[in-house]
Chain A
């Protein structure tokens, strides 16, 4: 297949054609939907020209094919053929327009959410990593903490939410506490396990260099467990997002989760969809930075 014609391009052409040229009822904002399609395709084309990793470019093309087929079907069903109830299923154009209009409100929610998320999450990292390193390094502490980690770790932290909201003075404190608890265990357990995975021969080398406990933990145990720590931190981060949005939906008065819940109560489904899409975008961006950090920290690995 020639470089400039991929399944994604054909799907794009089909989607754009039906969006622009198939007549629709008023208020479906097909222009906005077309704008979204063109924007996505433009990004794809840029990536195709400058992308070094051919396989990754092909993979994103394949993924886009699915996206275009989805947008095509959605536009056709919601805006053109009217087989979907436009109240429950707003058309793509309506969602795009709502998204643009709602950007200030979304950013405000993001700010409010990030304050809770970072508060709880960074606190968990700050406690779990040093504790995990130290407990993992001191065999006796590790054995003593195992039963706690085994029993407390698997409790889904979601179930703490109502009680935390009840006993803590503010919603902010309760959310931070819940996110903290939720992220704490996976990071702690993974860090502790990472310590035992540090190659014994590396530790022997460190001993022959007479590193003291502090140097041993900072220069040997910590970098040697970074891979485990990061996978714990990754799980902790996913938990944090789930807990954050859940807490906001249960007891919040602002934030990304609250936004979705609030407009669901008013049956404002375009805004609900916009809220969900926005959370998806935020999580994707955060994950991207997280992955970059992990790659940087593990750049010494082959």
Chain B
């Protein structure tokens, strides 16, 4: 692909200083995220997925190597990247609307409060929460909270959307609904956003992504980069019937579980 690189990860290492002991979470990780693509980072728990996302978000800096955003090294957080975490993405003491408004106001300080309020209402409507705008997060289900987080990210209109296992704690039924929502949101914009999506769910990664970075742990490293070229718009039912779906899935499954099998003693893993 000769497209523009939005994020360029160049040979990064990440060593945490954990009370005197040092712990290597990432070792020599390189990959790129092309502008406008949906890229998933897939791997077992502890392989450094969140670390990569936090590096992208500018919450931590790598101990080695560098990460370029639009060609410039990342220095700190920025409103050009919005983040959805698995938990506590929202301020629990602010209503859904207030959470979205706060982010929109940060992104568009020049806009009047009426405009900001309009933006917030609009995106809460898009994620299907118009009637819940004045609820506190604790009054919403986990799935609804993540919808608010998504509305907030959209309201900021940032070019990059960073999501760290956003649906990991949601029950299956709502997870499917949220995946479909995200799929439709990502596929419709003319100025397509660049999305980095962390997950440990293989099917979720295939459904949503243009590219999947498969990671292995101990220390965290990139195991494979897999392009997912299925045509869009996608839907989960016809996707599984696509030619090549089964082979891609099998390939990822074997990569994914080979790593785990190594860790648990190299025995056979039956899926």
B174: interface (CB < 8 Å)? no
Distance in angstroms from A201 CB to nearest chain B CB is: 4
A202 to B91, CA, bound (A): 7
Q: Given A201-B85, A202-B91, A224-B93: A208 and B102 within 8 A (CB)?
A: no
- CB neighbours of B78 from chain A (8 A): 210
- CB neighbours of A300 from chain B (8 A): 92-94, 136-138
Report yes or no: A208 in contact with B59, Cβ–Cβ below 8 A: yes
Report yes or no: A210 in contact with B85, Cβ–Cβ below 8 A: no
A223: interface (CB < 8 Å)? yes
A302: interface (CB < 8 Å)? yes
Interface residues on B, range: 20 to 34
Give the residue name and chain of the B residue nearest to A201 (CB).
B88
Report yes or no: B102 in contact with A210, Cβ–Cβ below 8 A: no
B57: interface (CB < 8 Å)? yes
Q: Give the interface SS of chain B, mostly helix, strand, loop or mixed.
A: loop
Q: Give the interface SS of chain A, mostly helix, strand, loop or mixed.
A: helix
Distance in angstroms from B53 CB to nearest chain A CB is: 10
A201 to B50, CA, bound (A): 12
Report yes or no: B88 in contact with A202, Cβ–Cβ below 8 A: yes
Q: Given A201-B88, A219-B102, A300-B136: A210 and B93 within 8 A (CB)?
A: no
A205 touches which of B79, B88, B93 (Cβ 8 Å): B88
A204: interface (CB < 8 Å)? yes
- CB neighbours of B92 from chain A (8 A): 202, 300-301
A209 to B91, CA, bound (A): 12
- CB neighbours of B106 from chain A (8 A): 209-211
B87: interface (CB < 8 Å)? yes
A223 to B137, CA, bound (A): 14
B83: interface (CB < 8 Å)? yes
Residues of A within 8 A of B (CB): 199, 201-202, 204-211, 219-220, 223-224, 226, 299-302
Residues of B within 8 A of A (CB): 54, 57-59, 77-79, 81-83, 85, 87-94, 102-103, 106, 136-139
16 CB-based A-B contacts, threshold 8 Å: A202-B92, A204-B54, A204-B57, A204-B85, A205-B90, A205-B91, A209-B77, A209-B103, A210-B78, A219-B91, A219-B102, A224-B93, A226-B93, A300-B93, A300-B138, A301-B138
